[in-house]
Amino acid sequence: MTRLRIVGIGDSTTAGTPGFLSPLEAPPNGRGNPESQYAYWMMILHPDWTVLNRGINGQRSDQILSRFQKDVLQQKPDYVIILAGVNDVYQGHSQESLKRNLHTMYKMAMNAKINALAATILPYNTMSASEAKAIKQLNLWIKETAEELKILFCDTNSAVADPTNPDRLQSSPDGLHPDISGYRAMGEALAKVVERHTSIR
């Protein structure tokens, strides 16, 4: 078994909103139902992995980038899962600024010899047509950029989306975030990417 240290950095969909407050939101260990976070399900699958939840509800990519040094680089993990952007879209920020921030985080991880895993932005049920289009465009950019930089990629969007209507969550307690089954699906999808990578290293 490979003992791995993984950091998940991002917004509410990393933190585990609405069922869980991350350790950054409710120090030192978080509060709520631990099953409402993808990190929990990754560690259920791999008890030998440490997956640190470094999500904060409501944060944009610039805010996540501003704490990347402390919450990722200083932790010296083997992997970092980078999931950011939904609040940029929700708050009407430009795609270009989000791309710049994500690209910077990918490169910071690479320069620190940390395996970066780029994750796609999740849908939410109240998206307008323009927001849904922006998320599709950004997720394509995330996939293509991961290929270009030769970093890991996980389509977390597909893991939680309704197969009959990909612009909506398959199930959600509040219309904005996945429920426990969605966080479990995310954790399983992310774990598969890391498993594949550790098996070929």
Spatial distance between the Cα atoms of 14 and 93, rounded to a whole number of angstroms: 20
Q: pLDDT by residue (tens digit) across 144-188?
A: 999 999 999 999 999 999 999 999 999 999 999 999 999 999 999
SS (H, E, C) 85-151: CHHHHHCCCCHHHHHHHHHHHHHHHHHCCCEEEEECCCCCCCCCHHHHHHHHHHHHHHHHHHHHHCC
Mean pLDDT of the chain: 97
- Write the pLDDT tens digit of every residue in 113-147: 999 999 999 999 999 999 999 999 999 999 999 99
Per-residue model confidence (pLDDT) at position 200: 74
Model confidence over 92-111: pLDDT tens digits? 999 999 999 999 999 999 99
Give the pLDDT score at 1. Answer: 56
Please name the helix (run of DSSP H) or strand (run of DSSP E) that holds residue 168, with its range, or none.
strand 165-169
Domains and CATH numbers, the chain: 4-200 (3.40.50.1110)
